[in-house]
Homo-oligomer: A and B are copies of this chain.
Amino acid sequence: MTEITRPTLIIDKAVCLQNIERMAKKAEKYQLRLRPHFKTHQAAKIGEWFKLFGISQITVSSVLMAEYFASNGWNDITLAFSLNILEINRINRLADSIKLNVLVENKEAAEVLALQATNKVGVYLKIDTGYNRTGIPAGRTGRIDSILDVLSKNSKLTFKGFLTHTGHTYNALSTNEIFSSHFDALLKLKKLKNNYKKNYPGMELSMGDTPSATICGNFDGIDEIRPGNFVFYDLMQHNLGVCDIADIAVKVVCPVIAKHVSRNEIVIYGGAIHFSKETVQNTDGKELYGRVIIKKGNEKVLLDTKNYLSRLSQEHGIIKVTPANFKQIKVGDLVEVIPVHSCLTANMMGHMITTEGEFIEMMPKY
């Protein structure tokens, strides 16, 4: 900590290990395969931490990320992003060296796979269970049938089952809403399984965003979960009621540059290029970019939500504080900020340092 002179992403490895262990045990309890999403950390070294808990199959969100983790020894990867047909050549190369699953949601992509897949590939159909982003709406069995029909034309392709991302849990205003979205998605997937199990006895169901994978207790009929964010958690998950502050493994340490007493504002070196511009609302409806931990004497104290990272420009952050806390903070101090969305913050920073001082490189951007 004393060597930090500019915005630095700090990872608490012990907390990460705890988070991974808890999720691995939960998966075991419910007889689910845990195929964690590695887009949150994007780091080979953190991947190794998952191996300690028996993880050997992972999820990624881009061909680039699949290539990176494949080159770091992972040989069973689901590319959980509806097939980008322009990358078919790289997908073929990947499928030559590892066990690869891809997602398809339309005939165009199915046709490219049917015509051009040169190696064995597992194919999940991406199902929209209410997030309204990607996927075949769960009720559209006609579309499902026609895609399965196209896929059947290439014997390299194996239909693996149905996969969904219940991303609308991130917009929930209560944990009850998370339970409800999850249960609704579960029922939709189970109905599909009932319809297709006969013709495709090996098919599976895959779901599992971090909110529902963390707090839900009904995974009846589900084979696999794919949460990612849980390794770090963040303020967004805390605001959803999904994790405790103590479960959050990431902080951005930032130098204090200036103080403005007339506005009760602290200026930090730490801006949009460090945090991303993702916000959550604090208890009185104000948009915030992070919560703040300062040192009081020898103790680190998480300030309440009256104190928060309130504005960001490219490299500057403005922290609003109460007058009492204003006095505690000095120019040249380091403050810790809990970020809103750890996936985006980690992605921006490109590297991290553990609380023990270990440097962790993330995958290259291109």
Contacts and interface: CB of A to CB of B under 8 A. Distances in A.
A108 B348 contact: no
B106 A259 contact: yes
Interface string A255-277: 10111101100010100110011
Interface stretch (A45-53, A179-187, A311-319): A311-319
Contacts of A167: 313
A366 B344 contact: no
Contact of A263 (B39, B64, B132, B330): B132
Given A6-B62, A6-B84, A6-B86, A343 B314 contact: yes
A61 interface: yes
Contact of A277 (B62, B63, B277, B343): B277
B330 A84 contact: no
Contacts of A84: 5-6, 255, 257, 269
Interface residues of A, number: 59
Contacts of A334: 86
A223 interface: no
Given A81-B269, A278-B277, A350-B366, A258 B314 contact: no
Given A82-B267, A273-B344, A365-B350, A133 B5 contact: no
Given A6-B64, A259-B106, A314-B344, A349 B332 contact: no
A56 interface: no
Interface string A104-140: 0110110010000000000000000000111001000
Contacts of A105: 258
A106 B314 contact: no
**Listed residue (A108, A132, A137, A273) with the most chain B CB atoms within 10 angstroms of its CB:** A273
A55 interface: no
A87 interface: yes
B87 A5 contact: yes
Contacts of A347: 273, 314
Given A84-B255, A86-B332, 4 more contacts: A62-B269, A109-B331, A133-B318, A134-B267
- Which 6 residue pairs spanning A and B have beta carbons closest together? A108-B331, A5-B86, A350-B365, A277-B277, A85-B332, A86-B255
